[in-house]
Amino acid sequence: MHPRTVLTLEKLEQAEWFSKVGVDDAERAIVLSSWTEAIDSCSSVEWENLCLEAKNQYCERIHERAPAEFQRWNNVAAMLKKATIPLVQKKLEAVVNKYSLPKVFEDTVQWDILGVCLEAEYADIYPPSFYASQAYWYVKGHFPCGWKGDFPAGTLVVY
């Protein structure tokens, strides 16, 4: 694992995820007011497609710039999951239990954090983008969960 990925994981570990959900302290995002709204937003087809497209676009850039490194993508992802899965489970346990949040919430967060780490791992080939911006919101205590408008114009939705 690249040292910058280790640092990314350490920063995520130290942050208080979900400590500011519902707090309207964001200048560049729409802030939702309930877990119900957040779950509806993160499980929307539009958000899922945007997140998938972001990861696909990043993969394409890696493949274009470093085909040999891209061939390692699945192995790198598997290696990163050994760190991201337990981290996410630990960070989610209390909030999932307190609010009885559905599996789609954990799946969304797992996908985001893996994306953050993949972007960190390959940052020397192509700069981090979409998922690095997701990490910002987790560290800030919010849950990034949607998009309003046509991407990249428009506004991120967080809880």
* Domain enclosing residue 59, as ranges: 3-7+28-158
9 touches 130 (CB < 8 A) = no
State the residue for tokens 């337990």: 86
**Counted domains in the chain:** 1
Q: Does any domain span residue 96?
A: yes
Name the nearest CA neighbour of 73 among 33, 30, 125: 125
Q: Does any domain span residue 38?
A: yes
Model pTM score = 0.94
Q: How much of the chain exceeds pLDDT 70, in percent?
A: 100
Give strand pairing partners of 107: none
Q: Does any domain span residue 32?
A: yes
Tokens of 44: 């929307």
Q: Does any domain span residue 33?
A: yes
Mean pLDDT across the stretch 129-135? 95
Q: Does any domain span residue 18?
A: no
Tens-place pLDDT, residues 46-105:
999 999 999 999 999 999 999 999 999 999 999 999 999 999 999 999 999 999 999 999
